[in-house]
Amino acid sequence: MRDAYHEELDTIGDGLVDMARLVGSAIGRATTAILDADLKLAESVIAADEKVDDLQRDLEGRAIALLARQQPVATDLRIVVTSLRMSADLERSGDLAQHVAKLARLRFPDTAVPHDLHATILEMGQLAQRLMAKAAEVIITKDVDLALQLEHDDDAMDLLHRALFQHLMDDRWKHGIETAVDVTLLGRYYERFADHAVSVAKRVVYLVTGEHADEIASQDTVNTVEGA
Amino acid sequence: MRDAYHEELDTIGDGLVDMARLVGSAIGRATTAILDADLKLAESVIAADEKVDDLQRDLEGRAIALLARQQPVATDLRIVVTSLRMSADLERSGDLAQHVAKLARLRFPDTAVPHDLHATILEMGQLAQRLMAKAAEVIITKDVDLALQLEHDDDAMDLLHRALFQHLMDDRWKHGIETAVDVTLLGRYYERFADHAVSVAKRVVYLVTGEHADEIASQDTVNTVEGA
């Protein structure tokens, strides 16, 4: 049986997983809402962010109480402090999903996304959701290899983001400025969402190995990277 | 004379002030770089962000060492945890200033900002810099009234941001899509920078009063706010 202290640590970990699942679901639903111009779905995503904020507040309260009561050191201390940071990443991811939903609401009954960009935005939304699902799995399993995978997935997000910009900058763009502004912001929201998912995974790597994910990745690829 | 513990807390506070000053300077210089298409200045802002990152790493190391060695409780614990959060806000503000500088570099020898938006972007840049200067002062003085002022200043940023969008959406916009995209992102960078400055100030309010800034502000304005 685990002692009260480690049970409390587990509860904090569970809270992080719950947050990751909620924001992963939120970005998926927000993407559907903006592509289908579904106002009801957008409203539900916007409302659901409160639950994420509540979870974060709860988790922070527990973490600080744990620091005060148990005064952990070494690894345990690092786990608690890192949990606080992960919860901040996840809370911010929830905000970004909410931004997507708010844009869907703002443009309703139109859709903010022109048809020739539906596929790209759908792909960004799905990738964002997958990244967050993997981040949740990394929190549960502490699987360093899986965590390092997220960086590769994030490269795919960067490519999608770049494709989006190329499409915008194309002389044949015919959707006007308002849509260009909407698509620019959308691209940024998905990119930042993905960054936060990667950041969560990297923090787990740091907890498990004591090394930053970048250091481990560079050990693997030192012979293949391009010169500075 | 102060004991070693409180000296170490002071050092952490000094680190936060140093970070705030650096990023305040960075956003001012980045704004000049983008308005004047000054490549050298842009490069110097981009390079200087490393110093901000170093300060954050140093500060986090000190905060965690302090938690481990001194095991503070109550207010002292809250100060250390809140310092970690403030340093994350400031580090992110540095990134945003760097984004502005990178956009200046990307468009060099052109400027990303069309002439009819120079005044608005200049105002956003100056306001962002002022907000961060006030945030630094709030860290030093722990002046709750000054901290609450930042929220009003941030309203001015929101107005500028809205004006920027109105200009973009105007049928007479004649600068093309690329510039619309650049200006959209710039607006977002300044707005987020300001949010982080406000967040730093709010965290000080919470430390000093134990109440969240929103609660205090709503006590002041409860009779004047519009219905939900």
Domain containing B15 — which CATH number?
A: 1.20.58.220
Is A124 within the bounds of a domain?
A: yes
For residue B112, the SS3 value is coil
Report the percentage of chain A scoring pLDDT > 70: 94
Q: Does residue A190 have a pLDDT over 80? A: yes
Distance from CA of A140 to the nearest CA of B (A): 24
**DSSP symbols for A80-104:** HHHHHHHHHHHHHHHHHHHHHHHHH
Is A152 within the bounds of a domain?
A: yes
For residue B73, the SS3 value is coil
Q: What is the pLDDT of residue B223?
A: 40
Is B227 within the bounds of a domain?
A: no
pLDDT band at A124 (very low <50, low <70, confident <90, very high): very high
Is B228 within the bounds of a domain?
A: no
Q: Is the dihedral of CA B200, A197, A26, A54 positive or negative?
A: negative
Is B209 within the bounds of a domain?
A: yes
E-only strand ranges, chain B: none
Q: Is the dihedral of CA A110, A111, A117, A119 positive or negative?
A: negative
Which is more confidently placed, A9 or A101? A101
Min mean pLDDT across A2-11, A193-202, B165-174 is at A2-11
Instruction: List chain A residues with CB under 8 Å of B180.
Output: 177, 180-181, 184
How many domains does chain A contain in total?
1
Q: Does residue B219 have a pLDDT over 90? A: no
Instruction: List chain A residues with CB under 8 Å of B173.
Output: 177
Report the residue from B169, B180, B188 with minimal CB separation from A188.
B188
Full domain range(s) for residue B118: 4-221
Is B16 within the bounds of a domain?
A: yes
Q: What is the pLDDT of residue A215?
A: 73
Q: What is the pLDDT of residue A2?
A: 64
Is A227 within the bounds of a domain?
A: no
Average pLDDT over residues A76-95: 95
Question: What is the Cα–Cα distance from B92 to A85, expressed in whole angstroms?
Answer: 13
Distance from CA of A109 to the nearest CA of B (A): 19
**Per-residue model confidence as pLDDT tens digits over A22-54:** 999 999 999 999 999 999 999 999 999 999 999
Average pLDDT over residues B82-110: 97
pLDDT band at B227 (very low <50, low <70, confident <90, very high): very low
pLDDT band at A228 (very low <50, low <70, confident <90, very high): very low
Question: What is the Cα–Cα distance from B75 to B208, expressed in whole angstroms?
Answer: 9
Between the alpha carbon of residue A88 and those of residues A55, B35, B142, B178, B224, the distances in Å are 11, 34, 24, 33, 32
pLDDT band at A225 (very low <50, low <70, confident <90, very high): very low
Q: What is the pLDDT of residue A223?
A: 40
B143, exposed or middle or buried, with CB in 10 Å at 0-12, 13-18, 19+?
middle
Is A226 within the bounds of a domain?
A: no
Q: What is the pLDDT of residue B73?
A: 86
Average pLDDT over residues B71-82: 90
- Put simply, the answer to whether B177 touches A169 (Cβ < 8 Å) is yes
pLDDT band at B215 (very low <50, low <70, confident <90, very high): confident
Interface size, chain A vs chain B, as Cβ–Cβ contacts under 8 Å: 59
Report the residue from A73, A88, A168 with minimal CB separation from B181.
A168
